Structure 1
Amino acid sequence: MSFEPWQWTLLVVGAAVAGFSKTGIPGTSILFVAIFPNIIPARQATGVVLPLLVLADLFAFFVYRKNLQWRRVGTLMPWALAGVLLGWWALGLVNDAQMSRVIGAILAVMLALHLWRQRGQADEAARHAPAWFAPVMGLFAGLTTMMANAAGPVMALYLLAMRLNKLEFLGTGAAFFLVINWIKVPFMVHLGLINMESFKLNLWLFPAVAAGALLGRPVVERVNQRMFESVVLVLAALAIVKLLVF
């Protein structure tokens, strides 16, 4: 792959944001989700982005390993694996534009559901989700992460609904994605989306991922819980608009 200097600049920024989104403010992932498909075709971009996310997940897991809730991860994982299989099948049937619209529509439904559940509910009541909530969110998380590495907003809505504090939010999300992204690698290799050419690009971008990940914890420590949740919701909504409109 060959790029112009301005394209390299955007790729480096996107890689740094990938790292920062895992250890800092999760919704900032909208930036790299927007950057890569505008420089690399959307399907190929999924194969380039995945190894960057795997590295960022490792950083985030190490930083927040004492804050995660394994029970939340275990509840989602079987359903997320089913979603990964569904997404693997769907990648062979839809084009880039259709893929974006489908994912955007799924996320819009998830956001509306989250806002509906939170309306007028006390924190303790909101913590007790209906039995179908985790399976649905897990399935959609697996589907969207396989199709476009775009499960961030799905997980954000799930973790916000569980009323986790910001460190538990980041730790639990890091553990979930560390597992699910490694599981996705063989599927991406099988589809030809991860190959030697894409991995060479990853090697150039790995230092930017590490720099962004190291910046995240100091930033998040300076953000209070209410602001953290508000920013995550706003960025999730922007991600939905981007997928549906652009």
Structure 2
Amino acid sequence: MDTMTLWHLTGWQFAALACAALLVGFSKTAVSGANTVSLAVFAAVLPARASTGVLLPVLIAGDVLAVLVYRRHAHWPTLWRLFPAVGAGVVAGTAFLMWADDTIVRMSIGAILLLMAGVTVWRRRQAGAPGQPDEVASRAGRVKARSYGVLGGFTTMVANAGGPVMSMYLLSAGFRKLGFLGTSAFFFLIVNVSKLPFSAGLGLIDGHSLLLDAALVVFVVPGALLGKWAVDRINQLLFERLVIAATVLGGLQLLLR
């Protein structure tokens, strides 16, 4: 049995997961990619393989709330361009999880977190560079979409860590805040729902894990409401620096655990 039950947790462990679930809601409606911190918390509290299955329904709950808030701002041509490559990445990630044991998955999640921290720093520099072209409709943009789609599909299947990859792609393609949030909301809702049968087939989701999810989803809602309130008020630069620092620490903790 790879899943984790609610009854295995201490009070402090559940509190940590609840805070991580609240951050999931916040990240879905304010700062996409911030839930890499939630990923580190889930993987630290739960067995690494089990953490991916428990976190997935929590992410889906956040995705639903984000779609309800930003549904009018999605750019569907970009989504259709990404989905085939993402599907290939999800299949590759599923194959990886079929043979990887808990230690390999834990170390892979740690390495992915460190990679995503580096990606986020590079993304911020690219987004701040003057004269960035909108590559969505160009041939180079299609190649870029496929490359990021495969990487995003693999990282989201193995570690639910596709957020920074997609954030970098959407920002470098010229999306402004509302278009970015609306497009990423639909993207992750569709991708995460499509991952459910793969995760269930791998034994990462069952009735026990869903009971734990039911207790954690309650905390996603206030996080999403807080994100909706804060999206126009938050100091983005400071928050991203905090997220990067927490992500690096989480990745190192998993690698050195």
TM-score normalised to structure 1 length:
0.87
Partner of 1:12 in structure 2?
18
Measured at CA, do residues 122 and 236 of structure 1 come closer, stay the same or move farther in structure 2, by a change above 3 Å?
Answer: farther
Partner of 1:155 in structure 2?
166
Partner of 1:144 in structure 2?
155
Q: Which moved more, 1:160-169 or 1:103-112?
A: 103-112
- Structure 2's unaligned 5+ residue stretches are none
> CA shift at 1:46, angstroms?
0.4
1:21 alignment partner AA? S
Measured at CA, do residues 115 and 218 of structure 1 come closer, stay the same or move farther in structure 2, by a change above 3 Å?
Answer: closer
3-state SS of the aligned residue for 2:222? Answer: helix
User: 2: CA distance between counterparts of 1:212 and 1:200?
Assistant: 20
Q: Does the 8 Å contact 2:40/2:251 carry over to 1?
A: no
User: Superposed, which structure 2 residues align to 1:1-246 within 5 Å?
Assistant: 1=5, 2=7, 3-94=9-100, 95-100=104-109, 102-104=111-113, 107=116, 110-111=119-120, 114=123, 121-123=130-132, 125=133, 127-128=134-135, 130-131=140-141, 132-223=143-234, 228=236, 230=237, 234=241, 237-238=244-245, 241-242=248-249, 244-246=251-253
Q: Which moved more, 1:129-138 or 1:236-245?
A: 236-245
Measured at CA, do residues 235 and 77 of structure 1 come closer, stay the same or move farther in structure 2, by a change above 3 Å?
Answer: farther
1:160 alignment partner AA? L
> CA shift at 1:112, angstroms?
7.3
3-state SS of the aligned residue for 1:27? Answer: coil
Moved over 6 A (4+): none
2:66 alignment partner AA? A
Write out per-residue CA displacement over residues 61-97 of structure 1, whole angstroms, 9 at most, x where no aligned residue. Answer: 0100011111221111110010000000011233224
User: 1: CA distance between counterparts of 2:243 and 2:165?
Assistant: 8
Measured at CA, do residues 6 and 185 of structure 1 come closer, stay the same or move farther in structure 2, by a change above 3 Å?
Answer: same
User: 2: CA distance between counterparts of 1:183 and 1:67?
Assistant: 22
How many aligned positions are there?
Answer: 240
1:168 alignment partner AA? G
- Structure 1's unaligned 5+ residue stretches are none
Q: Which moved more, 1:231-240 or 1:70-79?
A: 231-240
Q: Percent identity?
A: 35
Q: Please report the RMSD computed on the Cα atoms of aligned residues, expressed in angstroms.
A: 2.4
TM-score normalised to structure 2 length:
0.84
Q: Does the 8 Å contact 1:28/1:235 carry over to 2?
A: no
Q: Does the 8 Å contact 2:26/2:227 carry over to 1?
A: yes
